[in-house]
Structure 1
Amino acid sequence: MSSTFNILIVGALFCVLMLLVLISLLRSGIPGIREWCLANAFGCVALVLYAFGRELMPLIAYEVANGVYAAASAAMLAGFRRYYGKSAMPVVLGAGVLLVVAAIALFHYSVDSYPMRTVVIAVFQGTTCLAIATTIVFGRSDWRSHYPSLFTVAMAAVITVGHGIRSAIYLLNTGEVSSLLQPSPLNLLFVSAGTFILPVLTFGAVMLVHDTMLARAELVANRDFLTGAWTRRAFFEHADRELLRTRRMGRQLSLLLLDVDHFKKINDTYGHAVGDLVLIDLVKRAATVVRAVDFFARVGGEEFAVLLPETSRDAAAGVAERMRAIVAQSATEKGRAKPAVPAYTISIGVSSVRGFESLQDLMRRADAALYAAKAMGRNRAVSEVEAEV
């Protein structure tokens, strides 16, 4: 058996290995995995057909083998496009594969030229790899961690350049190599590199999927399952980082602590299911007031905290009052005889960072302001200054 044959078989086995890895990830439901599975299945079949090309009839060895390999590249690109929320372009990619098959047939039956057949495949593969790199770069707003994306872009770019070099060499040296299985140094180099294109791109895809799964797990761990607000643990982790940044940059930082007035009475009167709806409604209303940079978290049963970076005490008091007012509207809203969420109000305590104090001190003063709001009759926002008077 020739060295080229062994390389092709090893490449096919790598495709099988990557296919098995991808199959294990199918239940995640992440877009693109099915297309990547298809790409590796096609790749395995194509590499086996290439390896046994001398024993097969010409139609299978040339048109079918190259067509299947082109379909593998197309499926790989479709997977990346689906992963980044774009159309898989089945019509365009399918037409591209058919064009490759037609070109292979042209340089098989009309003008028998192995170099030109190689150039056709190299151009198509290079184009799809360039499209993969472009898809990832333009999807950069979705990058979670940079390494998987940068790795895959770099590999796709290297492969694109490699196919360009291969095309140029074969166009300039049309008589040097006449068969894929020819054991020349040049042929062995390109076959070795080309055989592992699909596994390398799949490895990048698997890293992207793993990154997405980690992000999902982190989101589940850090988001309250009922309201969608950040959890208590996530709040304290974020608040510690924000407090350090505030000290380092000499900026302002404020905190709101709030809870639902008479929440136990709501649960006793309407039931815990309705109480849950009240909490969900509160988070939805609060979301219309807080900024994207603010951190809204559920820190207790009916207790919530809002961290306001680069916000003075007066500005935070204004945010608190707007939040209180928009929640209080639930008592005057019309339109339903029996609303799912009963009228309710909230009380809010406001505090701001003083010097190099700890997060516990900041929360203690906000909590004192919250209790002052309760003592003053509820349905109000009270700052730490008012609470200390």
Structure 2
Amino acid sequence: MSTPAVLLLVLLINCVATSAVLGSLWRADVPGVRRWLASQALLAIAVGALLAAPSSPMAVPVAVVPYVCATLAILQGFRQFFGVRPVYRTELAAAALLVAAVVWCAWAGAPSNLRVVLVSVIAVYVRVAIGWLAYRRRPAHRPAFAYGFVWVVATAGAIVQFARGVAFALGHGGDASLLHATPLNVAFVALAVLSLSCLSMGVVMLAHDRIAERLERLATVDGLTGALMRGAFLEQAEQRCGRAARAGSPHSLVIVDLDNFKAINDRHGHAAGDQALVHFAAVMAGGIRSRDLFGRLGGEEFAVLCPDTPADEAARVIDRLRASLAGAAAGSTRGGVRFTFSAGVAERVAGEPLSQLMARADAALYAAKAAGRDRVTVAAHAQRADVAA
């Protein structure tokens, strides 16, 4: 068995292994996985066709059909994964023309180098498109490694395929048979197999990252309101307070509680109470800044950490939201449930731990409740000596 044949056998084994992994994710509802699985199956068919009849003049034309379909399927899988609109008609028409040209070359006895150039064109196009998607569409909040890996692999693969097409177009590739063991052909086949294997690994990494993102969201984000859960909020608040301490910037904490929430549940039912929580969270999320931290501490109690913000400024923002919400119905007017909230605001002083900051904001909240509810109260500024004690 020639060296290129051994390399193609390695690629075939990789396709089977990757298909097994992607098949296990069939019901995970990760966009693109089914297209990726189809691409691995089609690529395995193409490689199998080459290995089954290596000396047949029609082996390459027959293998080109599943190979081209595999390359388009993997690209469509990436488009689905990143939520990009597919380009079916144009790409399918171009692929059909390319396949027809390759088959004609074999039938008419045209130079085999032309087949290599034609196949290299679509290979370069697909890899450039995949690299561009991985580079431009990476979610800013996700680790960059998997997306960077796909970008590097796709870009390197495009360079290899472009170099192969140019070499054979200029007549430097020798015998254009994929299984012919010339040094240049072996090098190109080895690099192509490595590129495809790494790209297969990349799609598995992206699928894993999407599943990890879902699990992280389930563990950190409240499913009803979309606010951070208590543990996630406190963890991130501790980190931000630590950065604020090093930078010497003011941070304010707001603790908010819906007024008479138990009465809403008792009079209108828990569905109305949930609707009130959802509406409140939507108003808060839409009214605070993107860099503010919004979390649900439990029940009807929420918290907002406002970085680089003095207490008076944070209180003005929250009071504006309170005024806009006061008397409004949950979910606009559906159900007619009207509610208000009270809030306590405390500004962190140097050396103050988060627990003490929360205690002062909570005390300010109780003061707002005692004063009649539906108001925002700012805690007295703590003294450094009090914090140290």
Question: Same fold judged by TM-score > 0.5?
Answer: yes
2:380 aligned counterpart, secondary structure: helix
Q: Are residues 1:330 and 2:328 paired?
A: yes
1:306 aligned counterpart, secondary structure: strand
* Cα distance change of structure 1 residues 55 and 307 upon mapping to structure 2, 3 Å threshold: same
Shift of 1:353: 0.9
* Cα distance change of structure 1 residues 178 and 349 upon mapping to structure 2, 3 Å threshold: closer
What is the alpha-carbon distance in structure 2 between the residues aligned to residue 227 and residue 83 of structure 1?
A: 26
Letter in 2 for 1:44: A
Contact 1:15–1:198, Cα closer than 8 Å, also in 2: no
Corresponding residue to 1:86 among 84, 87, 91: 84
Corresponding residue to 2:340 among 339, 345, 358: 345
Letter in 1 for 2:48: V
For these two proteins, the number of residue pairs brought into alignment is 383
1:27 aligned counterpart, secondary structure: coil
Q: Which runs of 5+ in 2 are unaligned?
A: 384-389
Q: 1:379 is matched with which residue? A: 374
Residues 287-339 of structure 1, C-alpha deviations (whole Å, 9 max, x = no match): 232111111111021111111111111101101211221221327x9996xx4
Shift of 1:387: 12
Q: 1:62 is matched with which residue? A: 60
Correspondences of 1:307-322 after superposition (within 5 Å) = 307-322=305-320
Correspondences of 1:171-182 after superposition (within 5 Å) = 171-173=169-171, 176-182=174-180
Shift of 1:71: 1.4
Q: 1:189 is matched with which residue? A: 187
Q: 1:169 is matched with which residue? A: 167
What is the alpha-carbon distance in structure 2 between the residues aligned to residue 386 and residue 11 of structure 1?
A: 67
What is the alpha-carbon distance in structure 2 between the residues aligned to residue 95 and residue 231 of structure 1?
A: 50
Correspondences of 1:111-190 after superposition (within 5 Å) = 111-141=109-139, 144-173=142-171, 176-190=174-188
Contact 2:349–2:382, Cα closer than 8 Å, also in 1: no
Q: 2:276 is matched with which residue? A: 278
Contact 1:256–1:349, Cα closer than 8 Å, also in 2: yes
Q: Which runs of 5+ in 1 are unaligned?
A: none
Residues 69-109 of structure 1, C-alpha deviations (whole Å, 9 max, x = no match): 11111111111112111122121221222122122134223
Q: Are residues 1:41 and 2:36 paired?
A: no
Percentage of identical aligned residues: 37
What is the alpha-carbon distance in structure 2 between the residues aligned to residue 175 and residue 166 of structure 1?
A: 8
Contact 1:107–1:114, Cα closer than 8 Å, also in 2: yes
What is the alpha-carbon distance in structure 2 between the residues aligned to residue 177 and residue 94 of structure 1?
A: 29
Q: 1:238 is matched with which residue? A: 236
Residues 180-209 of structure 1, C-alpha deviations (whole Å, 9 max, x = no match): 222233222222332343332121111111
Shift of 1:141: 4.5
Q: Please provide the CA RMSD for this pair.
A: 2.3
* Cα distance change of structure 1 residues 329 and 114 upon mapping to structure 2, 3 Å threshold: same
What is the alpha-carbon distance in structure 2 between the residues aligned to residue 386 and residue 171 of structure 1?
A: 77
What is the alpha-carbon distance in structure 2 between the residues aligned to residue 387 and residue 375 of structure 1?
A: 21
What is the alpha-carbon distance in structure 2 between the residues aligned to residue 112 and residue 217 of structure 1?
A: 55
* Cα distance change of structure 1 residues 105 and 136 upon mapping to structure 2, 3 Å threshold: same
Corresponding residue to 1:363 among 358, 362, 374: 358
2:142 aligned counterpart, secondary structure: coil
What is the alpha-carbon distance in structure 2 between the residues aligned to residue 177 and residue 11 of structure 1?
A: 22
* Cα distance change of structure 1 residues 283 and 335 upon mapping to structure 2, 3 Å threshold: closer
Greater Cα shift, 378-387 or 46-55: 378-387
Contact 1:278–1:341, Cα closer than 8 Å, also in 2: no
**TM-score of the aligned structures, taking structure 1 as reference length:** 0.92
Shift of 1:129: 0.7
Contact 1:104–1:120, Cα closer than 8 Å, also in 2: yes
Letter in 1 for 2:361: A
Shift of 1:169: 2.2
Q: 2:73 is matched with which residue? A: 75
* Cα distance change of structure 1 residues 143 and 38 upon mapping to structure 2, 3 Å threshold: farther
What is the alpha-carbon distance in structure 2 between the residues aligned to residue 175 and residue 364 of structure 1?
A: 75
1:340 aligned counterpart, secondary structure: helix
**TM-score of the aligned structures, taking structure 2 as reference length:** 0.92
Q: 2:52 is matched with which residue? A: 52
Letter in 2 for 1:91: R
Contact 1:258–1:348, Cα closer than 8 Å, also in 2: yes
What is the alpha-carbon distance in structure 2 between the residues aligned to residue 191 and residue 348 of structure 1?
A: 67
Contact 1:115–1:174, Cα closer than 8 Å, also in 2: no
Q: 2:9 is matched with which residue? A: 9
Residues 22-71 of structure 1, C-alpha deviations (whole Å, 9 max, x = no match): 11112221211111111111100000111123465x44x23221122111
Contact 2:347–2:381, Cα closer than 8 Å, also in 1: no
Corresponding residue to 2:349 among 354, 357, 368: 354
1:320 aligned counterpart, secondary structure: helix
Q: Are residues 1:227 and 2:243 paired?
A: no
